[in-house]
Amino acid sequence: MKRENALPMILVLSAIPSLLTPAHSAEAPSEISGELIVFHAGSLAVPFKEVATAFMKEYPNVRVLREAAGSRACARKISDLNRDCDVFGSADYTVINTLLIPDHTEWNIRFAANEMVIAYTEDSRRADEINGDNWHRILLEKNIAFGRSDPNADPCGYRTVLTSKLAAIHYDDPGLTSRLLAKDRRHIRPKETDLLALLEVGEIDYLFIYRSVARQHGLKWVELPDEINLKSHEMTEFYGKVSLELSGQTPGSVITKVGAPMVYGVTIPKGARNPEAALAFVEFLLKHDKGMAIMERNGQPSLVPALSNTYANIPATLKGFAAKP
């Protein structure tokens, strides 16, 4: 069994401008062309659409083709299905570590944060009463329906399980996790954004989702305590008290996923068919006045530059966006 370590402390050095500009830039925009295939987490759909649009204005000879899915499902498309992919943006950087390194990539850069919330609409039952103290009791009511994503396909799915386990500790209710996870299983979907339509038509009243997605889609949400929401790096030790098993890199193997603050990661697979455009896209994404400004506007705080345990393998043009551990 492979066990992931809890998230190491992230070193944010964004106040030092020189570290945000790599020593070598990507090729000139006019020299880079062709299709660029980007796989990304469902929660990156809105900001990556904006990033791709801005990138293509700067690199007019490149056509960005985006494909959204749960991050683990995206990784499986690369590792198991041998799908062409030039850039992979994951909602959890450890997906890259556990499913793609070393066979399919050698590095990842941590670039953004997020947090878990309970999203709903004004038409959701008990919408006027739910809050950060009573949400778990309301979700367990018989006439209330809620949705979540598949833990083996999507980080939001396993973060929902981790959140429920942390809630059991925080509220001193040992049976809470099993009661929550046993309820409304018919509303489990491959990725968290698949549940938005169910919420909009009233099929479900609530869903476990990232704050950024709730904000981007104009939803209401319940802010959860820091002990539960997987947001706070000060709570890393507490988050590490809970874990779950997920499918591993090879058939029949498992990974023990330990609770940790949310950190997104990006990489370029070894089999990238357009590596020049891929490097330019990742550099554009990670620049604080370009891609990261778009991420920030969409509710996903920048962590650039953050520590990377794969720093030695990061391409020279991108090293300035990471820090040595």
Instruction: Report the top-level CATH class of 2-113+263-323.
Output: alpha beta
Pinpoint the residues of the chain covered by CATH 3.40.190.10: 2-113+263-323, 116-243
Q: Which CATH number is associated with domain 116-243?
A: 3.40.190.10
Question: What is the model's pLDDT at position 204?
Answer: 98
Q: Which helix (H) or strand (E) holds 207?
A: strand 206-210
| Exposure string for 247-264, b = 16+ CB within 10 A, e = fewer | bebeeeeebebbbbbbbb
**Long-range contacts at 48-53 (CB < 8 A, ≥ 24 apart):** 48/89, 50/294, 50/298, 51/284, 51/285, 51/290, 51/291, 51/294, 51/295
- Residue with token string 């020299």: 31
The one-digit pLDDT tens for each residue of the chain (325 residues) are 444 444 444 444 443 333 444 444 556 777 899 999 999 999 999 999 999 999 999 999 999 999 999 999 999 999 999 999 999 999 999 999 999 999 999 999 999 999 999 999 999 999 999 999 999 999 999 999 999 999 999 999 999 999 999 999 999 999 999 999 999 999 999 988 889 999 999 999 999 999 999 999 999 999 999 999 999 999 999 999 999 999 988 888 999 999 999 999 999 999 999 999 999 999 999 999 999 999 999 999 999 999 999 999 999 999 999 999 8
Alpha carbon distance 111, 249 (integer Å): 24
Burial class (CB in 10 A: 0-12, 13-18, 19+), 324: exposed
Structure token pair of residue 250: 């090879």
Question: What is the model's pLDDT at position 73?
Answer: 95
Beta strand segments in 97-187, E: 109-112, 116-120, 146-149
Question: What is the model's pLDDT at position 154?
Answer: 94
Spatial CB neighbours of 170, under 8 Å, sequence gap ≥ 6: 225, 227, 228
DSSP state of 88: E
